[in-house]
Structure 1
Amino acid sequence: MIPKRKVIPMTSINSFPEPLRQKYEKLQSILQQLGSVAVAFSSGVDSTFLVKVAHDVLGDKAVAFTAASDFVPQRDVDDAKAFCAKEGIEHHTVPFPILTVPHVEENPEDRCYFCKHALFAHMKELAAERGLAAVVDGSNLDDDGDYRPGHKALKELAIVSPLHEAGMRKADIRALSKALGLPTWDKPSFACLASRFPYGTALTPEGLARVNRAEEFLMAKGFRQLRVRAHGEVARIELVPEDIPRFLEKGLREETAAYFKHIGFAYTALDLLGYRTGSLNETLHDDVETAENP
């Protein structure tokens, strides 16, 4: 029996409307009942909030695992390490050769299922070796409406989604993250680098690294919420609409095209509809619902 750890919500959280306070307290209760957890920690908004609350509730019975693969930019792994070091959370980087998983390299429409099943099965093994009762992830209610075959894998492996069980949506998580003083409260949404390629396009380390370099170039220019989708030799840039005029200013547009050509794209295009989740799913057949890849 693990002794109960007293958790006192911050004053800023106590000032929140009752429904949000109840979700926060329910999340604490869910984690307390689990007793010990391995948190799949990507350093994104959801998993950062989850690992913080899990550590507040369970102390050293909450351990963070961060996958390191060709699908994950090194900056995210570094952010995860830095956050856990600052918070005193035990953290393990999990090297994972994702492109060796059957079917993943071919990038079928259900690629996410094969990827998540392999990765979370491995995390379950690591958690069991450390005597941790459950593996938890940052899925929330806003994920329910999307085409996400990876969720099937999570269910098959009995991965627990405490944020979802607590009835939290992305807006709740951002608000509570801000109240807790987490630096990720307004972090742009991100998805694995595989989501930059149309289904059926083979995934390679070189191609994944290329789109990552392209996105990091734009981030260095001050753009925050963006995607660079790779269509063969063409890079299709998605920016939020308010950022498009700045991108079109003389100089930046030419500099971007030159850099993208330098890293291997023959052509660079700007998507006039701007950034939107799951844009590569817009050509899927009707029996596949909406977005898998944010």
Structure 2
Amino acid sequence: MEDVSFGPDESRVEHVLRAFAAFERVGVAYSGGVDSATLLALAARALGPDRVVAVLGVSPSLAADERTSAHDVAAFIGVPVVEVRTHEGDNPAYQRNGPDRCFHCKHELFTRIDDTVVAAHRLDAVAYGENADDALRPDRPGSRAATEHEVLRPLADAGLDKAAVRRVARVLELPCAGKPAAPCLASRIPHFEAVSPEKLAQVEAAESGLRALGFADCRVRHHGEVARLELLPDDIARATAPGLRADVEAVVRGAGFRFVTVDLRGIQSGAFTLPLVAAARG
């Protein structure tokens, strides 16, 4: 691979490359988002694409366009994708949708990787894209699942935070370098309201319709018959303007919601989980 300069992130990137170089073959738990894609690209840089496998968990919580995009980005990097079907939706603890939902999801993914991918692809290690900012957040129970399954987190260990990961992605010219964060569809359902394939399909259809209208970064929070839209600040006014308001209402109602509302606070990461974590900590 051609030499490139990572500027202020050079030493941290070298830390990641050295971590991968300790292994013969590595799997990366991969979603196609900027964190896991950057990790995948660095693994390929350290070992060569033929010694790396991207492992994509597929379930109703993964939107169809995210699945397609993930394959496109992996193809750009030159690493093969192995899809594993995950069944977290069959787990009553996941369905209950407590603040630990992500633990059950990641536990299912890492279990499937252990059971079906590691031996088949002769993997010495599995890594996932937790970054240094994620490692400090209290609303990331999936991190506990990674620890239990001895999954590596090279980005976080190297001190690469979200901003640094995006800088590295731009240097590597990854197609997803500017891609908005895309948490799984289950994150749109309030905690302690059951997660179901039907609700996930509603959210996916509504968000897909909004993106087709030009709202590239959006969340559709599922409140029964009510869809609460979280949009970028500049998009809030656009969504409620007379020229587009009817189209917004049509695509969201067409997904099965009866009422459509726009949250004036905009997009809120951890909107459902953080308040519960803060309350538990007292």
TM-score of the superposed pair, with normalisation by structure 1: 0.90
1:260 aligned residue: 252
What residue is the counterpart of 1:120 in the other structure?
110
Separation of aligned partners in 2, 1:39 and 1:229: 29
2:57 matched to 1:67? yes
More helix by share: 2
SS at match of 1:34: coil
Cα distance in 1 for partners of 2:260, 2:281 equals 29
Count of residues in correspondence between the two structures: 279
Structure-2 residue corresponding to 1:130:
121
Contact residue 45 and residue 173 of structure 1 kept, 8 A: yes
Task: Pick which of 34-43 and 154-163 moved more.
Answer: 34-43
1:212 matched residue in structure 2: 204
Distance 1:194 1:128 in 2: 30
**C-alpha distance in structure 1 between counterparts of 2:122 and 2:133, whole Å:** 31
What per-residue deviation string (whole Å, max 9, x for no partner) do you get for residues 77-115 of structure 1?
212222233333121111222211341122122111111
The percentage of aligned residue pairs carrying the same residue is: 37
| Matching residue within 46, 68, 79 for 1:57 | 46
Q: Does 1:235 align with 2:224?
A: no
- Residues 1-294 of structure 1: pairs in structure 2 closer than 5 A: 9-10=3-4, 12-13=5-6, 16-17=7-8, 20-59=9-48, 60-125=50-115, 126-143=117-134, 144-281=136-273, 283-284=275-276, 286-288=278-280
Paired with 1:84 and 1:193, the residues of 2 have a C-alpha distance of: 21
Cα RMSD for the two superposed structures: 1.8
Superposition deviation, residue 147 in structure 1:
1.3
The alignment partner of 1:104 has SS state of helix
Per the TM alignment, residue 168 of structure 1 is displaced from its structure 2 partner at its CA by 0.4
State the distance in 2 between where 1:165 and 1:285 align. 24
Q: Which amino acid aligns with 1:9?
A: D
Q: Could you give the per-residue CA deviations for residues 260-293 of structure 1, whole angstroms, max 9, x where no partner exists?
A: 2222111111001111211123652644469xxx
For residues 15-71 of structure 1, the C-alpha deviation after alignment (integer angstroms, 9 at most, x for no partner) is x13xx1101111111110133211111000001111111112112111111111011
Deviation at 1:165, TM superposition (A): 1.2
Structure 2 alignment gaps of length 5 or more: none
Identify the range of structure 1 (96-105 vs 158-167) with the bigger mean alpha-carbon deviation: 96-105
Alignment-derived partner of residue 4 in structure 1: none
Scaled by the length of structure 2, the TM-score of the pair is 0.93
Residue 222 of structure 1, CA deviation: 1.2
Kindly provide the CA deviation profile for residues 99-148 of structure 1, in whole angstroms up to 9, marking residues without a partner as x: 11341122122111111111111112211332101110000111022311
Task: Structure 1 unaligned segments of length 5 or more: list them.
Answer: 1-6
What is the rounded CA distance, in whole Å, between the counterparts of 2:130 and 2:277 in structure 1?
A: 25
Letter of the 2:188 partner, please give it: R
Distance in 1 between the 2:140 and 2:35 partners?
16
Distance 1:216 1:201 in 2: 23
1:108/1:200 contact within 8 Å kept: yes
Contact 2:138 2:274 in 1 (8 A): no
Amino acid at match of 1:113: F
- Give the residue type in structure 2 aligned to 1:28: L
